[in-house]
Amino acid sequence: MRVKELAAWLKSSFEGDGDREIRRVAPLEDAGPEDLSFATRGRALKQAGASRAGCLLVPTDYANDSGRTIIRTADPRAAAARAILKIYPRIDPPPGIHPTAVLGPGTIIGYGASIGPMATIGVGVKVGSGSVIGAGCVIGDHVHIGASCTIHPRVMIYSEVVLGDEVVLHSGCVIGADGFGFVLTDGIYEKFPQVGRVEIGNRVEIGANSCVDRAALGVTSIGDGTKIDNLVHVGHNCRIGRHVVIAAQTGFSGGVIVEDYAVIGGQVGIGDKARIESRAVLGSGSGVLTSKIVRAGQVVWGTPARPLKECLEQMAVLSRMAKKKKPVASSQ
């Protein structure tokens, strides 16, 4: 793709050699004459001048003193993401049902959908048009999968799960397994039946080996546009809002509510029935206690999670106390 074609597709202006061919996207330090790279601010912008990239995506106010080939855009990182999709187009498997796939009675497969080798699909399943079910997936009874979804190989979806459109589930996901619900009766743990379901909205992406448990009663839900990293556990009856971002190795206990646009770092642990309000930010490694409320827009860190400024002040006090501590005299 030529620079001027890419700029037109991005609806942005370019400077320099519009006929230069761009074949790849690469980081600034590794990019060569046929590569596209991007710089947003700070150190990256300083490094941009020394990069060998054939074309750079840069902010609109970038000073192009060297006269190199650039494309100006309000958000270079977002433009790079769109450019990657253009330069590396997605290759879907051909539509149709592989001969080794097993389909239960009453299954409806939408136009242009693809069912991979050794996939097992239960009774009364609906697969939307253009969706892809990868090799070795197991889809339980009465599951609804929307249009243009991508279910990567070896995903397990239990019965009565509902997926919206354009959902992506990476390998090893388990959606709709029983929640962790037991009742101690006469010294013995008895299972509390998990008879709820899971509902996942449109354009949700869930990373490899993540688990979303069905509700004990009612619904475990994940809102439109939410992105979940690898190795995340969402417990029973959790309600995750729209456009939430959750990093790896985070765990949600039962009944947690996360409101829209919250950001949750890696290795965060959240106790039962905690509430994370809209646009709150939980720093990596935070621990949110049972029934705790993290207020809208608040940035918290530490265990127990508390406002970032307060957490840093307490850490500084502890550090000063440790420095002032006198060594214990030897008894010898």
In angstroms, the Cα distances linking 198 to 175, 185, 264, 302 are 7, 28, 21, 31
Question: Cα(144)–Cα(164) distance, rounded to whole angstroms?
Answer: 8
Would you state the structure tokens that stand for residue 132, as one six-digit string? Answer: 């892809």
Inter-residue contact 163 to 150 (CB < 8 Å)? no
Contact between 153 and 171 (Cβ < 8 Å): yes
5 sits in which H/E element: helix 3-10
Residues 6+ apart with CB under 8 A from 58: 38, 39, 45, 48, 64, 70, 71, 72, 73, 76
Q: For this structure, is 236 an active site residue?
A: yes
- The CA angle 90-94-95, to the nearest 5 degrees, is 115
Question: Dihedral of the CA atoms 12, 15, 18, 24 (nearest 10)?
Answer: -70
DSSP string, 78-126: HHHHHHHHHHS---PPPSEE-TT-EE-TT-EE-TT-EE-TT-EE-TT-E
The span from the CA of 212 to the CA of 176, in Å, is 6
How is residue 6 annotated by DSSP? H
Q: Which of 152, 170, 233, 236 is catalytic?
A: 236
CA angle, residues 85, 89, 93, in degrees to nearest 5: 130
Alpha helices, DSSP H, located in 32-75: 42-48
Instruction: Give dist(CA 239, CA 251) in Å, integer.
Output: 13
Q: At what angle do helices 76-87 and 3-10 cross, to 10 degrees?
A: 120
**Among all residues, which ones are annotated catalytic?**
236
